[in-house]
Amino acid sequence: MLKFYRQSLLALFALFTSFNVFSSNLPDELLHQPITLLSGKQVTLADFQGNKPVYLKFWATWCQPCLKEMPHFQHIQQQYGDSIEVISINLGLNDDAETVAQTVKKFNLTMPMTIDKSGDLAKAFHFIGTPYHLLFDKQMNLVHLGHKANESLDNKIALLSQQENVDLLASNKLQENEADLKLNLNDGKTHALLFTATWCDWYLKDSRPEVSQSCITAQQNANVLYQQYPQIAWQGVISRLWTGEKDVSAYKKKYTIEHPIALDKTNQLFHQYAVNDLPTLILIKDNKVLLRTNDLKDQEQLHMQLAVYAK
């Protein structure tokens, strides 16, 4: 009988130990979020669970801090790539494969990479601004989240590479706490949604001058068209990246905007309509997309397009 109890206790201990070795505090949906690499291979965090830690980094080619960190990023890959899975995630916003390839070549980046054109990864990992570093231990617990390649990140990567324990962060740091921006687009009216960002005009002035000017012109044209087409319900949808309500208020004052604008705090509308270029204008009626354009420089052309749907 004593032998039976000992065996039972050993079995329970082994089960408990196994559970703790491979358990994660991340939701199952996030563990199995597909990451499709440029190589064509699809991976998830669950693929590495119990095997090796994972380091994810979101970045953009027009993000100056991101570019400054690239030598550090490649150094991490070279020094720890065998013991930690390093994955590069380009944001896919106002970026394309050619521009990304140029950056890869410039900094000799060798880690696996993806371009998040769908926005699925940004939404899943609660992305709010580049650069964005996420580090998970071998059990796929979140141990680091931040916007700088700093000493704290380096120390944790070094510890994990030696299979040392690192303090866990609360899993709710990757949960969305804001409410979705709700718009009634099924009311029989034609709605014009202008997707833009409060920083598009000034932050991209040097790195993406054409995009910067396009954002300026788009908002100026929207102000005019709002007055000329009152039968269309105009709505500015502002990106949440690096942006709060004070930024939205300042932007509204800067451009003397009279039509409604709102911050897409959960990125729900940007994700729903797969907006990966700033600015973007989408006309919608009864939840059906009538028109989608990124060319907002020619006011006369916009007049012609809007006239068709303003009747």
| pLDDT on residue 207 | 92
Tokens of 172: 């709710």
Q: 263: which strand partners?
A: 238
**Among 8-12, 13-17, 111-115, where is mean pLDDT lowest?**
13-17
User: For 239, which DSSP code?
Assistant: -
Q: In terms of domains, do 140 and 227 share one?
A: no
Question: Closest by alpha carbon to 132, among 73, 56, 61, 77?
Answer: 56
Within a domain: residue 262? yes
**168 and 89 in a common domain:** yes
Q: How confident is the model at residue 49 (pLDDT cuts 50, 70, 90)?
A: very high
pLDDT category at 13 given cuts 50, 70, 90 is very low
Euclidean distance between CA atoms 293 and 229, whole angstroms: 18
Say what the pTM is.
Answer: 0.90
Residue 284's CATH number: 3.40.30.10
d(CA 163, CA 224): 60
Q: Decide if pLDDT at 138 tops 70.
A: yes
Q: In the chain, count H helices and then E strands.
A: 12, 12
Residue 58: the pLDDT is 98
Average pLDDT, rounded, for the chain: 92
Q: What local confidence, expressed as pLDDT, does residue 179 receive?
A: 95
pLDDT, position 298: 80
Q: Is 302 exposed, middle or buried (0-12, 13-18, 19+ CB in 10 A)?
A: buried
Question: What order of strands is seen across the sheet that includes strand 280-285?
Answer: 261-263, 232-238, 190-196, 280-285, 288-293
- Mean pLDDT (whole number) for 96-101: 95
Instruction: Give yes or no: residues 49 and 147 share one domain.
Output: yes
Q: If we measure between CA atoms, which residue out of 204, 139, 165, 189 comes closest to residue 310? A: 189
Q: Which domain holds residue 197?
A: 190-309
Number of domains in the chain: 2
Give me the mean pLDDT over the 239-256 stretch: 97
Q: Is the pLDDT of residue 20 over 50?
A: no
Sheet of 54-59: strand order equals: 113-115, 85-90, 54-59, 132-136, 142-146
pLDDT tens across 166-220, in order?
A: 999 987 899 899 999 999 999 999 999 999 999 999 999 999 999 999 999 999 9
pLDDT of res. 16? 41
